[in-house]
Structure 1
Amino acid sequence: MEKHLKRLREKSPDLFQLEVVGQSVEGRALYHLSLGTGPRHVLLWSQMHGDEPTATTALLDFLEYLRTHRQEPWVARILSELTLHSVPMLNPDGAERYQRRNAQGIDINRDALALQTPEARTLKALRDRLKPFIGFNLHNQSWRYGVGSTGRPASISLLAAAFDEPRSDNPGRVLAKKVCAVIRDALEPIAPGQVGRYDDSFEVRAFGDNMTRWGTPSVLIETGPWPSRAPDAPLIQLNFVALATALDALASGRAEKAEVARYESIPENDTSGIVYLMLKGVGLFGADGKPFTADVGISATRAVRDQGQGPALALVGKVDELGDLRVLGALETVDGSGLFAVPLSATAKEGDTLQLAQPRQHTVQTGQPAELMLLKPLEKPSTYRIERIIRFER
């Protein structure tokens, strides 16, 4: 990221200003990149949680797009009407470890008042210096989040952050709601049914809430799950479109004309509304060895694992739900009718046949790694064929 920011500055020194505005606990530079000549200032900050990198990539892509397409009318309008300020990675120590908190073990997004972390002090000082008229707080959210009761994944969730317990409105928060409405209308054709609204309960310690209270109404963009084993590219694209649309709407005045109702009618996040993989109506063996039928819900998270070529992001899965899961959605659903799910054996391959002489030794339980076999019973008693292997990283 540091090299990328410096390359942007070197390629277009007339467009970008780059400064180090602070240092992390471990001495890593906190960068502030600015561009544009407009009278209204916008602050965008990303990765205050070190394990939430999607928007950082999208933000860097967007900055590069502005550089290479600065003659396009809508880009030129943004650069003439607004001055953009970005902190693409507020928590580099956490990013280095791929963890939420900083090197002190503190959640920076709960440090807006105590200011115990150098990263929080840097962000607060930058806001106080710039006094931006709006801010964009960029995050990743849990892959269990669904859009209301639809069973659809909340690939992007939006929030106009509250500034008090009653969740009152003032002109700034109304503007943030209108910006969210504009983003919703841009994203829904790309990700139909996958835009949710984040919980707007007031969190007295959080930066988005306090930014709004300090006079910088904040738009929260939370990136969630995408229904594929390669989710990064489409999620980055959604963030790119969200940022481009919002900033264009602010520069053109279109945001002020948006309908607040389009924001307020976004379905709220269901915080445990989906699983990554659902095995629907699959056969299982109980501790007594007797078979029964249930749904199996597998959740997945991103984590750093060494897969033989150095550290890389991997998909870690576990059995999270078991029973009647009809109220949950899933990124992928497998019809388990006529099949049995059992833990994966070390040498198993799809198409192999095997015998389960002691079914009670092959139970599936919540909390165990998502390493399973789906078996089809054959005519010979206790004999099965492996139809599918399900394997995630541990």
Structure 2
Amino acid sequence: MMTALILSALLASTPASPRLSRNDVPGPQALTKLWEQVHAKELPLPPLVRHSHVEKQLKRLRETAPELFQLEVVGQSVEGRALYHVSLGTGPRHVLLWSQMHGDEPTATTALLDFLEYLRTHREEPWVARILSELTLHAVPMINPDGAERYQRRNAQGIDINRDALALQTPEARTLKALRDRLKPFIGFNLHNQSWRHAVGNTGRPASISLLAAAFDEARSDNPGRVLAKKVCAVIRDALEPLAPGQVGRYDDSFEVRAFGDNMTRWGTPSVLIETGPWPSRTPDAPLIQLNFVALATALDALASGKAEKAEVARYESIPENDSTGLVYLMLKGVGLFGADGKPFTADVGISVTRTVRDNGQGPALALVGKVDELGDLRVLGALETVDGSGLFAVPLSATAKEGDTLQLSQPKQHTVQTGQPAELMLLKPLEKASTYRIERIIRFER
């Protein structure tokens, strides 16, 4: 009896573990699991998603839940593809989200479609119902369908839509501006991708997600709208860091007078920029889509619940700023090279990679194009993959080479590695016989 009384007293004095209310958005890890349930598995990888895929998904949402989704064609691209505006919710405050202004920046388009599906299938959950009752959401999931068709940054006129906010020479820019002017949203989300060379500050860590509360003047002043955008970025940071520790950066906030995010803020729609960057995996798409999904869910919940207003601006301003050249895809560390005089020296080799889409005869397919981008002492750079080159030499790849083969290099000065050349290399181990090497590894990317 005494033991039971003591145990009861201890339990009574122990603070209860915090529990999520049914009104709270699930935590980041839980949201990634929920994303797996709603992700449109019929969609190809984001770089291969085309206007027809987006159109099909939006029409399916409208057909399966006509009481929830409104769908309208608000414009046409240069080549006549429909620019779709989907809206849902009944709240008095309007939110505008737009994705893929640049046709080769596709990750958030898929995440946005997945999030809309989540809202459809989970609308009875209290936190989802609160979003739909407090906010009215408006999304243009693919603002540059002609660019997406070619997997290129610019539209079919060759114009960067994100530098056309003032001149309005593209039909896509005119459509987005007219939609903003009609809706007058109190906040906007500008969804992009950034190159895989972006690192978080000087940490060498990949900037998998970068955030920005867009400036509205050269002085980068604050007003209530931009302060709110900063607080929303702070909420997103706190949600994403458990999923990507050290991989959330802050995008350069220099004012760009022609850009949509900056002008949206100036027009009265403070803009949150989300830039999706590199991920340390050979299969980066799923985790990057997940990060965008979690960012959208937590940000919109914070706006609907009032949590955003309570966030600390310091949590945004303390995010390390991006370094746009601080990362390479593959680093060969301390590898032997041959100079133009044939003499050996030791250096690091940094290989950068860009994604492109090519027709392989059976339709569009992804390709990784690599080049030697950096050479020398690269200790200040990070890498998604690092290879210890100690005791090895790097030389350009020969056409018939296979790993395990032996070869002779009688003229080392003919086997130099230089910046700008394709990332097609062999790592060689010197053997006892002079000028004889064994091929330890072949590095090959697309040209």
TM-score (norm 1): 0.99
1:307 Cα deviation after fit = 3.6
Q: Provide Cα deviations, 1:356-393, integer angstroms capped at 9, x if missing partner.
A: 12211111111111111111111111111111111111
| Aligned counterpart for 2:386 among listed residues 316, 333, 339 | 333
Point out the more displaced range, 347-356 or 10-19: 347-356
1:289 Cα deviation after fit = 1.3
1:303 Cα deviation after fit = 0.6
1:72 Cα deviation after fit = 1.3
Point out the more displaced range, 307-316 or 10-19: 307-316
1:355 Cα deviation after fit = 1.5
Q: Provide Cα deviations, 1:91-137, integer angstroms capped at 9, x if missing partner.
A: 00111111111111111101111111100000000000000000000
Structure 1 residues 334-353: aligned runs within 5 Å = 334-353=387-406
Alpha-carbon separation, structure 2, partners of 1:344 and 1:57: 37
Identity of aligned residues (%): 94
1:255 Cα deviation after fit = 0.5
Alpha-carbon separation, structure 2, partners of 1:310 and 1:364: 34
1:12 Cα deviation after fit = 0.8
Partner of 2:56: 3
Q: Provide Cα deviations, 1:123-173, integer angstroms capped at 9, x if missing partner.
A: 000000000000000000111111111111111000000111111111100
* RMSD value, Cα: 0.8
Partner of 1:230: helix, strand, or coil?
A: coil
Alpha-carbon separation, structure 1, partners of 2:81 and 2:411: 56
Alpha-carbon separation, structure 2, partners of 1:307 and 1:60: 27
Structure 1 residues 141-290: aligned runs within 5 Å = 141-290=194-343
Alpha-carbon separation, structure 2, partners of 1:224 and 1:40: 30
| Aligned counterpart for 2:366 among listed residues 313, 316, 326 | 313
Q: Provide Cα deviations, 1:34-93, integer angstroms capped at 9, x if missing partner.
A: 011111100000000011000101101111111111111111111111110000000001
1:288 Cα deviation after fit = 1.4
Cα separation, partners in 2 of 1:381 and 1:362, compared to 1, 3 Å: same
Alpha-carbon separation, structure 2, partners of 1:162 and 1:52: 22
Partner of 1:388: 441
Point out the more displaced range, 290-299 or 69-78: 69-78
Partner of 2:136: helix, strand, or coil?
A: strand
Alpha-carbon separation, structure 2, partners of 1:392 and 1:342: 15
Q: Provide Cα deviations, 1:5-57, integer angstroms capped at 9, x if missing partner.
A: 11111111111100000001111100000011111100000000011000101
1:305 Cα deviation after fit = 2.1
Partner of 2:237: helix, strand, or coil?
A: helix
Q: Provide Cα deviations, 1:321-355, integer angstroms capped at 9, x if missing partner.
A: 00111111111111100000011112212112121
Partner of 2:66: helix, strand, or coil?
A: coil
Unpaired stretches in structure 2, ≥5 consecutive residues: 1-53
| Aligned counterpart for 2:353 among listed residues 296, 300, 306 | 300
Partner of 2:154: 101
Q: Provide Cα deviations, 1:257-289, integer angstroms capped at 9, x if missing partner.
A: 000000000000011111111001000111111
1:310 Cα deviation after fit = 2.2
| Aligned counterpart for 2:189 among listed residues 128, 132, 136 | 136
Alpha-carbon separation, structure 2, partners of 1:351 and 1:79: 61
Alpha-carbon separation, structure 2, partners of 1:73 and 1:373: 57
Deviant stretches of 4+, over 4 Å: none
| Aligned counterpart for 1:377 among listed residues 408, 411, 430 | 430
Partner of 2:432: helix, strand, or coil?
A: coil
Partner of 1:298: helix, strand, or coil?
A: strand
Unpaired stretches in structure 1, ≥5 consecutive residues: none
Partner of 1:390: helix, strand, or coil?
A: strand
Alpha-carbon separation, structure 1, partners of 2:315 and 2:122: 30
Alpha-carbon separation, structure 1, partners of 2:441 and 2:360: 22
Alpha-carbon separation, structure 1, partners of 2:281 and 2:397: 22
1:308 Cα deviation after fit = 4.6
Point out the more displaced range, 355-364 or 258-267: 355-364
Alpha-carbon separation, structure 1, partners of 2:356 and 2:405: 31
Matching of residue 67 in structure 1 with residue 120 in structure 2: yes
Partner of 1:297: helix, strand, or coil?
A: strand
